[in-house]
Structure 1
Amino acid sequence: MEPKKNPKKDMRKYSGLYFQVGLILMLLFVWRAIEWKTYEKKEIEQQVVQFDQLDEEEQVMVMPPNTPPPPPPPPPAPEPDVIEVVEDDVEIEEQVIESTEVTEEVPEIVEVSEVAEAPEEEPIADVPFSAIEDVPIFPGCEKFKNNEKRKQCMSDKIRDFVNNKFNTDLGSELGLSGVNRVYVMFKIDNKGNIVDVQARAPHPRLQREAERVVKMLPSMTPGKQRGKPVGVLYNLPIVFQVQD
């Protein structure tokens, strides 16, 4: 007896494939059903913006910090004066406007019997040579414009002058030996003259010789402090060496 089913049309060999496809379709359907959302009609209506209500809401202005308050509104303009029209026949009393000028009284002239003299400026004290603003100018140092160069030029000129004028024979006459130091201090006054010469030496004759030589220094251009001539104090150490 022949079988009724066609072996070529047997569907059982594809049953596994059909099962898998059906399972996938069911999973997609269930996932879509879970993700699906429904909204009530009231909620949808509440989310609609009514444009006719925007004009009724208060406007909120956000001002930056430390912003000064707005100025107050200006005062109302004054009402215009009422101009009254008067007929020509009506007499109007004229108002006399008094002058508001203030008459100043002429001050009395007071005769001055004595005129007080202005106080004289205090003289500037003597300034040390190291602190003077404009140093005295020794003859021959005028070519230097710099204050420091003038100082150096003056020191060199005084040293050469003393070496040439000092009596070097005093050492043997006085029986001195070795190195002898003589300290001299003098002042160049506000006219450029050498004054107030003082000396200190190990022997009185050396002291007198140092004073004699320093007093022979030539007159100079006086030093200035704050633009005014002043006295300048100068210290001069003299080293006198006697050859044995």
Structure 2
Amino acid sequence: MEKLLTTTLLICCLTVFGQEKKSEETIFVVKEEQAIFFGCEKIGGKTAREKCTYQKIYEYIGKNIDSKLAIKEGIKGKYKIKVTIKIDREGNISETITDSEHKKIDRKIKKSFKKFPQMIPNKQNNIKRATSFTIPLILIGK
């Protein structure tokens, strides 16, 4: 009985894989046009626009996240955090995710990104798409 069940399962698996067709869908790994800050769209070249966008993101962080946050929370040394901001189809932040283990730091970083300016959304085949940015931050404690 056990051999019959094993043989039947093997035949079914072979039949399913034998009938499999290649997909005609195209999967995009590279973004055609990355979401960018307003003002960066005027810069020539995709790489230069992306560099400008990251520069503006870090300028925003420098102005809106307290540089003494780690000290205030009693953290010693360097405290590394990854912040992921999700940008919706309209260019607005839809979610902010951090990998911080400190709830107060997590809350303050998320709160600071609520005022993040609207961006020009990501495009793929000239269609607006949601995207995300992952930003490494290092907070310096005592």
How far 1:238 sits from its partner (Å)? 1.0
Secondary structure of the 2:119 match is coil
The answer to whether 1:232 aligns with 2:131 is yes
Which of the pair has more CA radius of gyration? 1
Residue aligning to 1:170: 69
Query: Which of 118, 122, 137 is 1:219 aligned to?
Result: 118
Please give the TM-score of this superposition, normalised by the length of structure 1. 0.44
Please give the TM-score of this superposition, normalised by the length of structure 2. 0.74
Query: Which of 138, 143, 161 is 2:42 aligned to?
Result: 143
Runs of 4+ aligned structure 1 residues displaced above 2 Å come to 168-173
Task: Give distance in 1, aligned partners of 2:138 and 2:119.
Answer: 24
Secondary structure of the 1:134 match is coil
1:112-157 CA distance string (max 9 Å, x none): xxxxxxxxxxxxx9x88xx311112202212213111111110111
Secondary structure of the 2:79 match is strand
CA contact (8 A) 1:186 1:235 kept: yes
Query: Which of 172, 188, 204 is 2:103 aligned to?
Result: 204
Matches for 1:7-46 after TM superposition, within 5 Å:
none
Task: Give distance in 1, aligned partners of 2:73 and 2:134.
Answer: 25
How far 1:193 sits from its partner (Å)? 0.6
Structure 2: which 5+ runs fail to align? 1-26
Higher strand share: 2
Residue aligning to 1:154: 53
Structure 1: which 5+ runs fail to align? 1-124
Identity %, equivalent residues: 26
CA contact (8 A) 2:85 2:95 kept: yes
Relative contact order, CA 8 A, sep 6+: which one is greater?
A: 2
Query: Which of 175, 179, 186 is 2:78 aligned to?
Result: 179
Superposed CA RMSD: 2.1
Query: Matched residue pairs, number?
Result: 117
Task: Give distance in 1, aligned partners of 2:48 and 2:72.
Answer: 39
Secondary structure of the 1:159 match is helix
CA contact (8 A) 1:182 1:206 kept: no
Higher helix share: 2
